[in-house]
Amino acid sequence: MSLSPCPFSRDRLQEFSSLRRAAQHQAEWLGESRWKGNEAAPVSPAEATLNGNSEKGMHGHAMSPWIRALEHFLELENTINLKIERLHEQQRAFLQPKFLSDEEEEAQRQQIEENAHGIQKLLRELERMIISGMRPQDPTNEDEVRASENAKKHLSSRLSMIIQSFREGQELYATQLRRCEEKTQRYKQIGSCEAHKRMEREERIAQYLELGYTQVDIQELLEEDAKQKELSREVQEILKSVTELHEMFKELGAMVVEQGSILDRIDFNVQQTQIDVKRSVAELKKARQKQGGCWVM
């Protein structure tokens, strides 16, 4: 019989159960699971027992907060995608030529704006889940902490994609709506744009004459009115530029956060490497001492 001690081993199946469940949920939602319909993957008796315990944990207190947040995020993300798709369909239908009264058209526009506002609220809820919900159950477990951080970064990228899709749809709708309004204004005009402006000028002069203004006063009023219109146009352009600049800074802020998380991971890996190197140096010193003792013997 060999006198050598039994090799040390430990069962980490229970420890990684929560991580495996989260990966399975994510793979199923992304459509990457190989098992579809009623088909089931073969599992070992130990995994079957563990899955039974994990199902109990879903209804008990053993489920990690970040896994619950991950499941809720995926469910809400699916709902938001459906709402965005319906919103785009409403916007396309609204922009199609139709015969509606002003009240009906305004009601449809208000409904579209309310739906867009509701989607914005849901997007803020997704952001709240990522910020406050993705925390590990055991902060001392490095594997679970690392898994929760990776899941948080993955969900952040998914949220950025949803926001980008929603923003592009809103910008396209605003552009097409503005074109339709400009086209409607042109149809309401009589003759060319120059003729329409000339008619407006003559009507304004006639109104000023009725009020008792002289030709000199009318000329000054018309010049002041033109300056006010030009100033209003410049203010609108500045407002648009500031809005675009604000969106750009928000995107830069998201990039800074992402780069900061990458630097945090690099710093963590460097620290772990330093600890491992120190441990290896200590082991090498012990081995050298033992080797020297063997030479003496």
Measured between alpha carbons, how far is 92 from 224 in angstroms, rounded to an integer?
Answer: 41
- pLDDT, tens digit, 9 for 90 and up, residues 92-132: 888 887 777 778 888 888 898 899 889 888 888 888 888 87
Same domain, 201 and 107: no
- For residue 8, give the DSSP letter: P
Examine residue 147 and state whether it is found in any structural domain, yes or no: yes
Examine residue 43 and state whether it is found in any structural domain, yes or no: no
Indicate the Cα dihedral angle 21, 27, 29, 34, nearest 10°.
Answer: -110
- Of 64, 194, 220, which is closest to residue 136 (Cα–Cα)? 64
DSSP, residue by residue, 223-262: HHHHHHHHHHHHHHHHHHHHHHHHHHHHHHHHHHHHHHHH
Task: Mark which of 227, 254, 274 sits at the end of a domain.
Answer: 227
Q: Two tokens at 196?
A: 């329409």
Same domain, 174 and 147: yes
| 217 pLDDT more than 70 | yes
Same domain, 77 and 165: yes
Same domain, 221 and 147: no
Query: How much is the average pLDDT of 266-282?
Result: 81
Q: For the chain, what is the radius of gyration of the CA atoms?
A: 33
Task: Mark which of 211, 227, 243 sits at the end of a domain.
Answer: 227
Task: Mark which of 157, 188, 219 sits at the end of a domain.
Answer: 188
Letter for the amino acid at 91?
A: Q
Same domain, 122 and 76: yes
Q: Which of the residue ranges 18-22, 171-175, 191-195, 210-214 has the most confident prediction, judged by mean pLDDT?
A: 171-175
Same domain, 146 and 211: no
- pLDDT, tens digit, 9 for 90 and up, residues 46-82: 344 334 444 444 444 456 778 888 888 888 889 999 9
Same domain, 68 and 173: yes
Examine residue 278 and state whether it is found in any structural domain, yes or no: no
38-52, 254-268, 278-292: range with lowest mean pLDDT: 38-52
Residue 74: give its domain's CATH number: 1.20.58.70
Examine residue 16 and state whether it is found in any structural domain, yes or no: no
- pLDDT, tens digit, 9 for 90 and up, residues 140-180: 888 778 888 888 888 888 888 888 888 888 888 888 888 88
Query: How much is the average pLDDT of 184-201?
Result: 66
The total number of structural domains that make up the chain: 2
| 186 pLDDT more than 80 | no
Q: Two tokens at 189?
A: 């005009």
Query: How much is the average pLDDT of 224-237?
Result: 81
Same domain, 103 and 207: no
Task: Give the number of other Cβ atoms within 10 Å of residue 205's Cβ.
Answer: 16
What are the Cα distances from residue 249, in Å, to 114, 156, 159, 253, 256? 26, 17, 17, 6, 10
Examine residue 285 and state whether it is found in any structural domain, yes or no: no
Examine residue 151 and state whether it is found in any structural domain, yes or no: yes
Measured between alpha carbons, how far is 108 from 86 in angstroms, rounded to an integer?
Answer: 14
Work out the pLDDT band at 261, boundaries 50, 70, 90.
Answer: low
Q: What pLDDT does 16 receive?
A: 60
**Structural domain harbouring 195:** 191-227
Task: Give the number of other Cβ atoms within 10 Å of residue 152's Cβ.
Answer: 20
Whole-number average pLDDT of the chain? 73
Q: What pLDDT does 62 receive?
A: 55
Examine residue 282 and state whether it is found in any structural domain, yes or no: no
Same domain, 87 and 202: no
Same domain, 65 and 183: yes
Same domain, 83 and 102: yes
Grouping H, G, I as helix, E, B as strand and the rest as coil, residue 100 is coil
Measured between alpha carbons, how far is 159 from 122 in angstroms, rounded to an integer?
Answer: 11
| 181 pLDDT more than 70 | yes
Work out the pLDDT band at 1, boundaries 50, 70, 90.
Answer: very low
Letter for the amino acid at 201?
A: R
Work out the pLDDT band at 21, boundaries 50, 70, 90.
Answer: low
Same domain, 121 and 201: no
10 Å CB burial of residue 72 (0-12, 13-18, 19+) is middle
Measured between alpha carbons, how far is 187 from 189 in angstroms, rounded to an integer?
Answer: 5
Examine residue 277 and state whether it is found in any structural domain, yes or no: no
Q: Over 137-156, what HEC string results?
A: CCCCCHHHHHHHHHHHHHHH
